[in-house]
Amino acid sequence: MAEQRASVELCKGVNGLDKVVLKEVRGSSAEVYLYGAQVMSWKNDHGEELLFVSSKAIFKPPKAIRGGIPICFPQFGSHGSLEQHGFARNKVWSIDTDPPPFPTNSSNKAFVDLILKPTDDDYKIWPHWFEFRLRVALGPGGDLMLTSRIRNTDSKPFTFTFAYHTYFSVSDISEVRIEGLETLDYFDSLRDKERFTEQGDAITFESEVDKIYISTPTKIAVLDHEKKRTFVFRKDGLPDAVVWNPWDRKAKAMPDFGDDEYKHMLCVEAAAVEKPITLKPREEWKGRQELSAVPSSYCSGQLDPQRVLLG
């Protein structure tokens, strides 16, 4: 039998948009669109899709694509003067042919390096020169790693907020729980960004949620009871975690989102929002997230969170 090899292929996606397909030796895969440098698919070695993309997503620039992992830069949400979530997700990125060394395993061949530099028109909207480099890599076990490096190439400092707006595919939102954020403080975007402290022993869902948890651990677990699957979320340089589900009323109001699709998705986002990042000239910031999907075994309806979070 021929040996399977990791591969990287540039091809056409929906509406002829360029995408890079990463494949790992054991069968896991990821698809990254150059439009927005957006990961639009992440499949395990059984071919199961782990990310949510709306059936009504619009793949037509300059519209943002609903699903996958949009990149929010240089602004998260409406925390600033730019359009919602900034402009990085609405730009066509280039493949970076001369990337700096990344601290990922060099024997891992399934990765792509992308780069975004502002045009003169971008500079009018946000008057700062920068280089944004992104590496998307698939680990041998199917882990998905995103590493962002943002360098200030201007003569003056600039400040930004950031998030990896990850849409996870879940069986049923009412069967999902998040562990690792209990007892933490959060800002509730549904209540004028007022600050509260999380009370429950784990986060479960029965209505709309839009919260920014602050000073979060580097590991968070998203448990999908019905699929017996746990997403383990590791992050570095990103102190906050955003949790979002629009629920039924907001879902119906979004033209690029199916009315009932809120039941099958959950956004958990590694972010830097509460304390914006300031870069001096020639300074560089790095933010990384690593996602893995592991089978979860339940004992009396609950996985031992310490085993997942520390394991």
Strand partners, 267: 167, 244
Q: Which two tokens stand for residue 241?
A: 């975690």
- Residues of the chain with pLDDT below 70 are 1-4, 102-108, 297-311
Q: Which residues are catalytic?
A: 165, 269
pTM of the predicted model, to two decimals? 0.93
Task: Determine the pLDDT at residue 200.
Answer: 81
- The structure tokens 């102190």 sit at 239
Which pLDDT score is estimated for 298? 42
Q: What is the pLDDT of residue 101?
A: 79
Contact present, 299 and 306 (Cβ < 8 Å): no
Residues in the chain: 311
Please report, rounded to a whole number, the percentage of residues in the chain having pLDDT higher than 90: 84
Instruction: List residues forming the annotated binding site for substrate.
Output: 66, 84, 89
> What confidence tens digit (pLDDT) does each residue in 263-290 have?
999 999 999 999 999 999 999 999 999 9
Ordered by start, the domain boundaries in the chain are: 7-171+238-290
The pairing of strands 29-33 and 38-43 is antiparallel
Q: What is the pLDDT of residue 98?
A: 85
Which tokens go with 303?
């996985």
CATH for 7-171+238-290 is 2.70.98.10
- Give residue for tokens 């992104």: 134
What is the model's pLDDT at position 80?
73
| pLDDT score of 56 | 98
User: CA-to-CA distance for 294 and 311, rounded, in angstroms?
Assistant: 11
204 phi/psi in degrees, rounded to 5: -120, 175
Annotated binding site: 66, 84, 89
Token digits for 13?
Answer: 């996606």
As a whole number of angstroms, the distance between CA 104 and CA 74 comes to 25
Give per-residue pLDDT as tens, 131-187: 999 999 999 889 999 999 999 999 999 999 999 999 999 999 999 999 999 999 999
